[in-house]
Amino acid sequence: MNDNFEKKLLGKISDLQKLKTTVAAWKNEGKKIVFTNGVFDLLHIGHVTYLAKAAELGDKLIIGLNSDSSVKRIKGEGRPINDENSRAALLAALFFVDAVVLFGEDTPINLITTLMPDILVKGADYAVENIVGSKEVIANGGEVKTIDFVEGYSSSSIIQKIRKQVS
C-alpha cells in the first residue's frame, strides 16, 4: 500500500476523543452528521447499500464499530470472523464513509451522546423508539431514520453457507 492511501485510510479510523473534536469542526462548518453502528463482520452488498443510503442522508457518515470483545458477547464465541482492525479498515476504504470509531460496550450510547449526530440511522428491523440513542438524538433536535435491508444478505447467513460447504 502506498503511504498516501494508507494515511487517508487510517486517518478515517479514530478514537472517540479525536472524533469529538472533528465532529465539532464539521458542525461549525454546517455539516449534517449521520451516525450508524454495527458489527460489519463480513462486508457484503447489503452492508454497502445500507451505508451508502445512510451517507446520502447528510454530509458526514460516522460508523460506530463493535470491538471484537463486544461482538463475542453479542454474537457468540465464533464471531467475529474478521478482527476489528480489518473490519475498520474495510469500512474506512468506502469513499462515502468519513469516520469509523470502535466501541467496546454492548451498545453505542456513549458514542451517540458524546458525538450527538444530527441523524441516527439503523436498519428497518428496528422500531425508532427501540433504537439506542433515539431519545437523546431527538431531544437534541436530531432525527432518527431507518433503512430497509437488501433481502437475502446477512453475515450470519454467509457464514452458515461457508460452514456448510466446508463440512
For the chain, 167 residues long, give each residue's pLDDT as a single digit of tens: 567 666 777 789 999 999 999 999 999 999 999 999 999 998 889 999 999 999 999 999 999 999 999 999 998 888 899 999 999 999 999 999 999 999 999 999 999 999 999 999 999 888 899 999 999 999 999 999 999 877 766 766 766 777 778 76
Give the strand order in the sheet containing 13-14.
13-14, 99-103, 60-66, 33-38, 119-123, 143-147
d(CA 64, CA 107): 10
Q: Is 70 left (phi over 0), alpha (psi -120 to 50) or beta?
A: alpha
The domain limits of the chain are 31-166
CATH number for the region 31-166 comes to: 3.40.50.620
- Here the cell at position 141 is 433536535
